[in-house]
Structure 1
């Protein structure tokens, strides 16, 4: 877009284009046909001095019209018009030569800069002066209350043509074209006399010519004579056979190479041998092509580090089959659990050491039976001949929890008491633990237990308890 700023002394209807200081008259600006423009016309109130045209002079203007023409004939059409709806008035401040000046600026946009009327007026001239512009302001009643004319604008023409120029073919090939020709290659034909051409070539042909491959309309080169020499001998087939052996005599003959076969031989025949044998290599020369194994340094000989001669170090084989790692201190083990919870399991009797050892609970006149102590020993001496049993509780262990057996479960303890007289009876008390069941106690044994020895003894008998419904 052409943003064109110019200054006009607007004290009369015909404005005079001045410089920014309103000191001298200058030529009106030049516009270019076909390029949108915006005229920024700054108005002075007088013919000299920088006093701006007051904004109050435009207070009652509600619409604008800007037109440009080279004549004042109402019968002709304008050459150019402004975008009247976009015309604005404002105050702008600018600093020039160190001095700040405020101007009243009227901005006139012109988007239609290429009209038939303008083109006809310009014709074929590169530029033309004499175009005048007129700005009219209308009030709310449609009355023209402001008119300003500026003469002698110049319009520069555009370079035009009826079509695109005709290109001239270059007389050289580009690098891309050369590469394309080389990639395409050449095709050739052959001839006996240089006039009749054919493909493929025969033994009697004496001429050849070329052209680019694929260019069916291409021009063939001149005929080129072929150089013909004497006919050579027919070629002969030859087959190479290779074999391997363990020494220079061909021992352990094989057609497959191996580390132990350090010698190699080859034969060449005119006829292929499908499966060569040692006999076929009878005249061959066996050449050693694999060197002997080194003797090693120090104790690092193969007989030490590969005792079975399988090509793998013994230590590596041991690592392949190792089941236990070298011992490490307990502190060197990572990821070990902080506790080891017991797991329920069972044992056969053969796995239990000292199976006859049983835990004994000893107390003076015991009142409690413990599940983990199947033998109860009363440490109080009995001399009355009658043993009194008074058990009030069953617990899983000392300091543990009370136990309540299900109906029909029989529990058995062995009871020991020190007696100084022959036992003639057993007195069973109210064997009633703090549960909802009554425990019946039964003893088995003779009616009278003699003292063993005669002065004292430890009579023993089983105590069996069976939960029964509680009787009120």
Structure 2
């Protein structure tokens, strides 16, 4: 049974459907044809506000009647009526939105919700609105002492039918049905003229038709023309026989291969031979298909590698002939070059016979120091009065590779600067060179007023953070007349 709760302001005969707090109008509930319902109509005493209808007003009511109709014509029959004997009135309390409300509730059971009158009124409409309900209370003398009407109930119609729906066959096959069709296969018949059919194909047949196998009542397909071409040659039987022998003449003939039978032959015939013999292979060609067995297991005897018994293998004796090459005079050597020019190369100090020799590198304003030239000579005549000491790198040789300085190394050069005027200032280092000056005089005069070489000792040491991690030290050494 469907419990339907709704709220009605019952201060007048025509009640107004309201919300649970009697604050605004609401819609009358919807009933469903054929579904038992119990209307729980909660009554307010006033047109607004939650004050419940006084239960004491029903103290003299001894029976109730509830009827529903869409007209007020006494000549017509009600559409629906309640179970009047089971109508009750009670006080209920309910908490809604965290607030407690007390109602006077009239409970109206309605078990017969599928009357002919209701069905006619609904007809084929899916729902109808406009059904009114009337609640009447009677006292002990049968007088109507309470009347409340509520309008605009909606009744929802039912989906009904006079018979069982007709099953619609699917327009597709299930997976099991498809597998069954493939498993059954096709049944074919053949015909010469497309009219008379038989099950076994003959050479004269020109048509076929088919249907699913096992479908005795199935429909045959339309005739299908068979593709025919020129008749081929009649096939012939062919039998192959293989035999084995010990030589090319067929000696020791056998049909079973062995290690001793190293020759093989085969024949092809159109008829079967029950027991082939050597005569059947008279026209066959015997082919040696298996090589001769080797001699021994691969060891070489002395008579092979030392036939003269001198204790040397033949290859070693050939090697002895190389000793005679030392006896050939230089004039007897052919194809030798006319000269042997030397190429650029390096030597360790231990390989140098005259260690006091020092290679001099001369250039105009040199900026690179070379490991193979401990003496650097600046050939540019300096007449400005200022000597600039600046070196930006170190190489192995003039065309060699750049090198650095490790922590365990200290490299030293003499730098000879040609001057044509007294030196009144020495510039040390630059943005491209980390260099410090040590013991450099303020002035360097010319010797006897002539061109003079002033010599500085340049050292390179490893210094983290310096340019290229190399710091140069410049120290005045001596001067000499050019």
Normalised by the size of structure 1, how large is the TM-score?
A: 0.46
Normalised by the size of structure 2, how large is the TM-score?
A: 0.45
